[in-house]
Amino acid sequence: MLPAVRCTITKPDGTRVYETMEAVNPATGETVATYEEHGDKEVEQCLAMAQETFEEWRERPIREREELLANAADVLRENKERYGEIMTKEMGKPISEAVAEVEKCAWACDHYAENAGAYLDSEQHPSPPGTAVSTVHDPLGPILAVMPWNFPFWQVIRFAAPYLTAGNVGLLKHASNVPGCAVALQEVFEKAGYPDGVFQTLLVGSETVDDVLADDRVKAATLTGSGPAGRAVAETAGRHLKKTVLELGGSDPFIVLDDADIDAAVETGVLARTQNGGQSCIAAKRFIVHEAVYDEYVDRLVSAFESLTVGDPMDEKTDVGAQADPDLMAELHDQVQASVGAGATCLTGGEPLDRDGAFYPPTVLADVPEGCPADSEETFGPVAAVYEVPNETEAIEKANDTQYGLGASLWTDDRDRGRRLARQVEAGCVYINEMTKSDPRVPFGGINDAGYGRELSEAGIKEFVNRKTVWTQ
């Protein structure tokens, strides 16, 4: 059972014509819907429309672009149940989380509708008497977005809301197992009153990305996804001297110190590891716990994991739905088995549920050996690796013992201690007494193998603009 079944035809001249893309419900194995893919002709039409539309869209006063984005927020709220159901049926997240994701998208639209103009206002600089020097922010043109299935609305809106409002136009290549979400997202902007061509969905496979990115009309790209996908996009963009923003994998530490509020750290830790079925780059994956509270914390974490309801994602009472893809679940299980084989102890979970659908239980691994998959790789599912450390120094060392560097969560009742240690954690963001999350008001992004560049807030909207110096004598 695959998340999307694609039937491909290639003409004798090499032109690709795709027939269908089928989205499959991972909770039931049933086909949700079938979509006609875009072939080379349709892709060319989209690129031509994007370029043509950009020339007009860039001249729109930013206040008009902000008003349209506010309309998009309204469309999202008015259709949140329908959009949430599309998400749940295509990738398996609980319906309550899917609806909340749509609401968060509306919030991001509200944020940029209210703040984009201020973010992009010209900046004045010191200059000789009689001169004026400023930096203005001009849009670049069509931006390609390669987006993942795990947060199929949020990942797209957090690129589209700032970049379109800055005057760019967007081309979305979404994950092939969420074509309904991709179509619905284009609908959002159409219903909001955006001109045709400002936001377009390309229903294509990954093999088309290189050609689209290499096209002269595409000026930059943003990708959220795996390391290999990010490297491939960065390589193509580099050959053509095009800017990229990459948000890749993570193996985020969740550090619980000896003076932490254990009640809060358990409650938040459960959500931080199991939200979205654990399928999140910024999920808490490595729980690093001070020896003074280790036994209590782990016992309570295991108990909380075992109390979660794993089941039908369309049921409001479900805490953990289906994994998005049976093959990805099998990879996760292989990581768990290999880690146990290397010496890790499975305290709960550890086996796919004996039922139809791709269901994996919340799992806790202790005594995790260095270098085993649960220690050194990203586990994209509800699997927590727990570690016991004797002091804060070793906690930070273990937190930084990763190729990634996306986010971190650090728990202590001493806020000064938290801020001091946060500066020692090698990550793009550190949350003290809170789970790692993305918020439209603050910059988001990683370092090392977690990617580069920033999304959201003022930093995000300025990633894909020409920061042009204008000197007036």
**Residues assigned a catalytic role:** 247, 281
Angle formed by the axes of helices 154-165 and 95-119, to 10°?
20
Angle at the Cα of 303 from the Cα atoms of 298 and 319, rounded to 5 degrees: 115
Query: Which helix or strand (DSSP H or E) is residue 469 part of?
Result: strand 465-472
- DSSP letter for each residue of 215-263: STT--EEEEES-HHHHHHHHHHHHHTT-EEEEE----EEEEE-TTS-HH
**CA-based radius of gyration for the chain:** 23
What 3-state DSSP class applies to 108? helix
Using CA atoms, how far residue 441 sits from 41, 136, 223, 229, in Å, is: 40, 22, 20, 28
Nearest to 177 by CA among 333, 328, 377: 328
* CA–CA distance, 212 with 206 (Å, rounded to integer): 10
Query: Which helix or strand (DSSP H or E) is residue 130 part of?
Result: none
What 3-state DSSP class applies to 413? coil
Residue 10: phi and psi, rounded to 5, are -120, 125
Bridge partners (DSSP) listed for residue 125: 133
C-beta separation of 76 from 105 below 8 A: yes
DSSP 174: -
Using CA atoms, how far residue 172 sits from 143, 327, 425, in Å, is: 9, 25, 34
C-beta separation of 142 from 51 below 8 A: yes
* CA–CA distance, 107 with 396 (Å, rounded to integer): 34
Give, rounded to a whole angstrom, the gap between the first and last alpha carbons of the chain: 67
What 3-state DSSP class applies to 140? coil
Identity at 22, one-letter amino acid code: E
Q: How far is CA 268 from the centre of its chain?
A: 20
